Amino acid sequence: MSTHTMPSADIVFDTLFAYQRSAALGSAIDLDVFTAIDGGARTGREIADRCGAPERAIRILCDYLSTIGLLRKSDGRYELVPESATFLSKRSPAYLGTTARFLLTHELKQNFERLTDAIRQGGVPPDAHNTVAEENPIWIEFARSMMPMMVPAAHGIADLVAESSSGALRVLDIAASHGVFGITIAQRNPRAEIVAVDWAPVLEVARENARGAKVEDRYRTLAGDAFTVDFGDGYGVALVTNFLHHFDPPTCTEFLRKIHRALKPGGRVVELEFVPNPDRISPPVPARFPLTMLAGTPGGDAYTFDELRRQLEDAGFKDVSSHALPTPQTIVIAQKP
């Protein structure tokens, strides 16, 4: 066997060992390595002293982080790169470490330990423990952890919705979670009233955030399963953010019909979604997202813009438009005629 004419196996082993990248980042967040460097520690010894770990271990961790682009090393001194300075140092207002730690919890990762079974079965059975199971407590932690990551999208939605409806506006915020989408609209439009739907314990997090944002007098909650609870009607805007990707297309369309009934004529539905291109392999973040749904839900997926439009039109909406964000997600808006 001639080995010299073969391609390099680097990509195979890099992929096999990719789980170590996740673990290294998780440990660096646990030990607050990035904040230590941001605070002036540069050598392995200095970082080790601030993080309370032996120098050899910190040197190995920081070297590893340098090989994957989260630190820069020269002459034995470590520096932050712009991305780690912005998102991984607690000194940064855009710190995402709490979100990141949540995304690495065993509960979320363990679905991937059974990925082969999920693929053979085409997903996780509805009666099994799964991410969309009723009142899964992970959604409380999700609400507390994911808000920082959703702030840019919340501003994007408010830009599109609140400013064009400066008068009285009733907003239905479905699967409100942390509540940031509705709350941001309420902050922009002093005549907006929000009705937030989610499981009862999750709504406590949303209410807490509404109080923090001083919009609690215009913030109502509606506890229960979004598929069965009575939304009421006459809404000007319905937000359905990070929700549809958990379900198969017929379920999405049926759910959009329920939203359609709750809106007043001229009312708008606003989706926040991972929207891959028609090739389904670009851009990378939306294109990779379906694997998480395959591993954790009975029939979830990421839908292309054409697929989302078809769901919306089948449910009775018109004028479907998409709006890019600085994050990897897309806002899709449609109107009830």
Q: Quick one: 200 or 324, whose CB is closer to a second copy?
A: 324
- Which residue from 45, 281, 306, 318 is in contact with a second copy, where contact means CB under 8 A? 281
Q: Classify burial at 158, counting beta carbons within 10 Å of its beta carbon; exposed 0-12, middle 13-18, buried 19 or more.
A: buried
Q: In which region does residue 177 sit, left (phi positive, over 0), alpha (psi from -120 to 50) or beta (all else)?
A: left
The reply on whether position 6 binds a second copy by CB under 8 A is: yes
The answer to the question of residue 277 lying near a second copy (CB under 8 A) is: no
Residue by residue, DSSP assigns 3-16 as STTSPPSHHHHHHH
Dihedral pair phi/psi, residue 291, rounded to 5° = -60, -35
Query: What residues contact 10, with CB distance under 8 A and at least 6 apart?
Result: none
Pick the closer one to a second copy by CB: 75 or 217.
75
Write out the binding residues for a second copy, residues 195-224 only, by CB under 8 A: none
**Distance in angstroms (rounded) separating the CA atoms of residues 309 and 335:** 11
d(CA 68, CA 305): 33
Binding of a second copy by 91 (CB under 8 A): no
**68: contact with a second copy by CB under 8 A:** yes
> Which of 153, 125, 136, 127 minimizes the C-alpha distance to 329?
153
Give the count of residues interacting with a second copy (CB under 8 A): 89
Residues 24-63 that bind a second copy (CB under 8 A): 24-27, 30-31, 52-54, 56-61, 63
> In the complex with a second copy, which residue's Cβ is closer, 57 or 229?
57
Q: Which of 38, 123, 147, 219 binds a second copy (CB under 8 A)?
A: 123
Strand order across the beta sheet in which 192-198 lies: 219-223, 192-198, 169-174, 235-241, 263-273, 330-335, 318-324
Buried b (16+ CB within 10 A) or exposed e, 253-281: bebbebbbebbeeebbbbbbbbbbeeeee
Q: How far is the CB of 139 from a second copy (least distance, A)?
A: 19
In the bound complex, what is the minimum distance in angstroms from residue 120's beta carbon to a second copy?
A: 5
Q: Which of 38, 64, 173, 263 binds a second copy (CB under 8 A)?
A: 64
Q: Does 233 bind a second copy (CB under 8 A)?
A: no
The phi and psi torsions of 49 (rounded to 5 degrees) equal: -60, -45
In angstroms, give the least distance from the CB of 64 to a second copy: 5
Residue 87 binds to a second copy (criterion: CB under 8 A): yes
Which positions from 300 through 319 interact with a second copy, judged by CB under 8 A? 301
Question: In angstroms, what is the minimal distance from the CB of 230 to a second copy?
Answer: 33
Among 45, 67, 91, 163, binds a second copy (CB under 8 A): 67
In contact, 192 and 218? CB cutoff 8 Å = yes
Which of 267, 300 has the CB closer to a second copy? 300
Residues 136-195 that bind a second copy (CB under 8 A): 151-152, 155
In the list 42, 77, 109, 310, the residue contacting a second copy (rule: CB under 8 A) is: 109
Contact between 290 and a second copy by CB under 8 A: the answer reads yes
Separation in Å, CA 247 to CA 132, 218, 255, 273: 9, 31, 10, 12
